[in-house]
Amino acid sequence: FTAPTARYRAEVVLVALGLLVFVTVYLGLVAGCVYLAWSIWQMPIHGRGSVYLLVAGTAVLAAIVVFLVKGLFRTQRRDPSQHVEVTRENEPVLFAFLDRLVADTGAPYPGKVFLSWDVNAAVFYDTSFLSLFFPVRKNLLLGLGLVNHLNLSELKAVLAHELGHFSQRSMKLGSYVYVSNQILDDVIWGRDSFDDLLEGLKRSDPRLAIVGWLIAAVVWVLRKALELIFRLVNVLHRSLMRQMEFAADRVAISVAGSRAMARGLYMAELADACFAQTLQDLTHAGDHGLYTTDLFHHQARALDEVRRLARKPSWGVVPADDARLFEADAKTKPSMWATHPPSSEREDACRTQPVACPVDERSA
The whole-number pLDDT of residue 41 equals 78
**pLDDT confidence of residue 330:** 46
The pLDDT of residue 336: 45
pLDDT of residue 212: 73
> Which 8-state DSSP code applies to residue 338?
-
Give average pLDDT by consecutive 10-residue segment, the chain, 364 residues.
82 83 84 84 71 74 77 63 92 96 91 93 74 71 95 95 81 65 68 68 74 77 81 82 89 93 93 95 96 94 94 88 75 56 88 88 92
The model's pTM is: 0.77
- Which tens digits make up the pLDDT trace of 68-122? 777 666 655 666 678 999 999 999 999 999 999 999 998 889 999 999 999 999 9
* CA dist., res. 337 & res. 339, Å (int): 6
Give the pLDDT score at 127. 64
State the pLDDT at residue 32.
86
Q: From CA 178, how far away is CA 173, in angstroms rounded?
A: 9
- Using a 10 angstrom Cβ sphere, with 0-12 exposed, 13-18 middle and 19 or more buried, the burial of residue 327 is exposed
Beta-carbon contacts of residue 237 (< 8 Å; ≥ 6 apart): 15, 18, 173, 174, 177
320: amino acid identity, one letter = A
